Amino acid sequence: RKEVEQDPGPFNVPEGATVAFNCTYSNSASQSFFWYRQDCRKEPKLLMSVYSSGNEDGRFTAQLNRASQYISLLIRDSKLSDSATYLCVVNGGNPSGSARQLTFGSGTQLTVLP
């Protein structure tokens, strides 16, 4: 089983649609969770952290379910500029305390169509 697993997509949605991405992780000791966004041929950039209570940033909502080891990202009222690959990222929860060890999923590709 992959450490971090995402549906690769692609997701093709019309402008204004709501789209949700899911991600599962295998290490129950994982401590921190993030969504990164990577535009075509560019570097990944932090989109938002994911907190246990769920968090929202404008049109973006992130949820964490520790029991199911599952993270989600919801994008409402999608814009053309949301087209990118969305990477689920999990802190490895290494018992030796390596908080630097982030594990990236393969990414989910989103295309928002006019």
Binding site for another protein (CB under 8 A): 2, 4, 8, 41-46, 87, 98-107
Both structure tokens of 9: 């997509």
Backbone φ and ψ for 95, nearest 5 degrees, come out as -60, -25
Nearer to another protein, 107 or 110 (CB): 107
- Residue 76 burial (CB < 10 Å; 0-12/13-18/19+)? middle
CA proximity to 51, closest of 34, 26, 69: 34
Q: Pick the closer one to another protein by CB: 2 or 66.
A: 2
Q: Which residues pair with 70 in a beta bridge?
A: 24, 65
CB of 89 to another protein, least distance (A): 9
Residue 19 or 105: the one with the smaller Cβ distance to another protein is 105
Collapsing DSSP to helix, strand or coil, 80 comes out as: helix
- Residue 112 CB, nearest approach to another protein (Å): 21
- Comparing CB distances to another protein, the nearer of 15 and 57 is 57
